Structure 1
Amino acid sequence: MITVGIIGGSGYTGGELIRLLLQHAQVDIRFVYSTTKVGMPIEKIHQDLIGETTLMFTDKIVADVDLVFLCVGHGKSKEFLQKHTFSETTKIIDLSTDFRMEHQNHDFVYGLPEVNKALIMQSNFIANPGCFATAINLALYPAIKHLQLDDVHIHAVTGATGGGARLDEKQHFSWRSQNYSSYKIFQHQHEREILQLFSRCKVVPQLNFIPHRGSFARGIYVTCYTQFSGDLAHVIQLYESFYQDAPFTIRSGIAPHLKQIVNTNKCLLHIQHINDKLVITSMLDNLLKGAAGQAVQNMNLMFGFEETTGLKLKGSYF
């Protein structure tokens, strides 16, 4: 049994993390920190947890917990750690962008288990990857590592929860419902961490990444394509070999759809060779495999638990 604290537990990711940890047999949540919900019952904010916990939000931390999850906004994790001190043995998983870039004078390991599992198991500090970055990295990394690719085109659609719980015009139901739009074309913040991972490969192709907002609550659907004249069977064998020890990254022989992954920690991949194009589809739940679920997966690896503990979730198919 390990003790954990959550910093910033009132948003979508914090709520999903609390839900997962309450069901985890090896975890005791000692505190959920918030500056805006102090003294409020957690079940009042995360109403799906009614009857499951008597925890309340607090503005006090417990310094000697085994692990702290940082679920604060981007740019705020560093600031929080500068103002608050934990014990020398406390491990940290940060879910913001603050420590994802390597070589920036920190000890955080990039927490993509399918690539960095051995490092994660030995580390005390993990930078949880971004949701788009997770879906795109898992879709493309084996191909970029082992095949000679040129330009790669990426179209990726995210649900409304990808923008967080804050109030914003483009998060309102009347704007989002029955609507579709692109944003941050070729300038999305996750592209830096995607290219950072790909820089480990001999040849890094040009990425053409266009993110989109979809009219659904949760999930990410990514379509990648590139010129390819090789053998599809070889590519499929390459992917199955690369992910043979990855319990949540699964190649599907048929075209997958979002209902297969929503409310799960899975990433589904579908690989096709159409005309002269290699087409790789990738999809995951942005709040789970793209955030809280992957954070719990990293926690399991850091503390020697079975990697899938607390994450054998049933998707909401109907």
Structure 2
Amino acid sequence: MPQPAHSFSASPTAVSHIGVLHGAGYVGGALIRLLAAHPAAALHTVTSRTFADQPVGAAHPSLRGQVDHTFTAPDEIAFGSLDALLVAAEHGRSMQVVPGILEDGFDGPIIDLSADFRFRDPAVYPEWFDTAHPAPGLLADAVYGLPEWSDEIGGASLVATPGCYATGITLTLAPLAQQDVPFTAHVTALTGASGSGATPSSATHFPDRDGNVRPYKVLGHQHRPEIRQTLGTHVSLDFVPASGPWTRGIWGTAQIEWPKATDPNTVSSWYEEAYAGAPCVRCSSDRLPSLQPAVGTPFCDLGWKTDGSTLVVGFALDNLLKGAASQAVQNLNRMLGLPETAGLLTSPVSVST
């Protein structure tokens, strides 16, 4: 059963030097953009095999004139000059490189954005990812980095940032799972084309995607065991993912089979208490969120509606931000002892009149 994490804040100290491994993809670009504006964590090194020795703008044209960095080849990175490391590699790559980085003596925080360290049970990897984990001993040490439900991130050396669907669905269902009542959730969620990564494929080809909704991995998506690992075995989950005709953002609903009648005020109290100290979750009672207000932000928007017998909870988030890069920065901030929202939210400004 998940327990809500305590809110976390601290005073910024000296600027930390951050490395981003495999920074040429969509998530890498989002990480670079966030670090460029971070008040206490600066991008020091970013790697890419394809774009080695080329400026960051070669892979991310929108960053031209904003980020003055050149990609470094992965085998040329100087880990001794880094205070922390963000790994944005594809699934299956991090589990190959992170053990070697640790063996070479790097002792700073590592935040991985793939699935390679999310599961405690190494048997999950051959079943869901068609590969045996080469370093199963690290799985016990890795902390699952969902900030709203983990108090262990700040003291961790290796944090596994959750998947995008897993983030939205877990945040949606965790306040219900916390009630220790068995229930079933039927979830349908749609994601934009950027969720498929930067490499083109037939699934992301514009003529096939434009104006179309395409379900995939129905009842068999790899985020399903990730979600149940966090929520507990008393939660049954039926998950239907689909691709929508937009670029960024995930929108979904969970229809809940709750075992007894539920008062709307009770449901609201569950969510409001769970996320009272969560700066990157926005809750709305008696209505479901829409997608557009969440895109381009570090927030997951949650909303719910019940008539007493049927409970529907909706969620919306940016898959590249709260579903990946901004959540990784939340984790980075905690691991460095910085305010959790540093570089993500604008601090309020007091104006004298």
Q: Same fold (TM over 0.5)?
A: yes
* Deviation digits for residues 129-168 of structure 1 (CA, Å, limit 9, x no counterpart): 0000000000001101215243210001101001100121
Q: CA deviation at 1:67?
A: 0.6
Q: CA deviation at 1:227?
A: 2.6
SS of 2:183's partner is coil
The answer on 1:227 being equivalent to 2:243 is no
Distance 2:94 2:282 in 1: 32
Tell me the equivalent position of 2:83.
66
The answer on 1:180 being equivalent to 2:213 is yes
Distance 1:82 1:144 in 2: 34
Q: Out of 217, 227, 237, which is 1:207 matched to?
A: 237
Tell me the equivalent position of 2:116.
98
TM-score scaled to structure 1, two decimals?
Answer: 0.94
RMSD of aligned C-alpha atoms? Answer: 1.4
1:1-318 to 2 correspondences below 5 Å: 1-59=15-73, 60-64=76-80, 65-84=82-101, 87-103=105-121, 104-106=136-138, 107-116=141-150, 118-146=151-179, 148-199=181-232, 204-228=234-258, 229-253=261-285, 254-274=287-307, 276-312=309-345
TM-score scaled to structure 2, two decimals?
Answer: 0.84
Unaligned runs of 5+ in 1: 314-318
Match for 1:182: what amino acid? Answer: P
Q: CA deviation at 1:40?
A: 1.1
Check whether the contact 1:131–1:289 (CA below 8 A) recurs between aligned residues.
Answer: yes
Distance 1:234 1:276 in 2: 13
Check whether the contact 2:18–2:44 (CA below 8 A) recurs between aligned residues.
Answer: yes
Q: CA deviation at 1:78?
A: 1.2
Bigger RCO of structures 1 and 2 (CA < 8 A, at least 6 apart): 2
Distance 2:106 2:92 in 1: 23
Shift of the 255–230 alpha-carbon distance from structure 1 to 2, 3 Å rule, reads closer
Check whether the contact 2:263–2:308 (CA below 8 A) recurs between aligned residues.
Answer: no
Tell me the percent identity: 38
Check whether the contact 1:161–1:217 (CA below 8 A) recurs between aligned residues.
Answer: yes
Match for 2:144: what amino acid? Answer: Y
Check whether the contact 1:91–1:124 (CA below 8 A) recurs between aligned residues.
Answer: yes
Q: CA deviation at 1:89?
A: 2.4
Distance 2:322 2:58 in 1: 25
Match for 2:263: what amino acid? Answer: D
Unaligned runs of 5+ in 2: 1-14, 122-135, 347-353
Q: CA deviation at 1:105?
A: 2.0
SS of 1:68's partner is strand
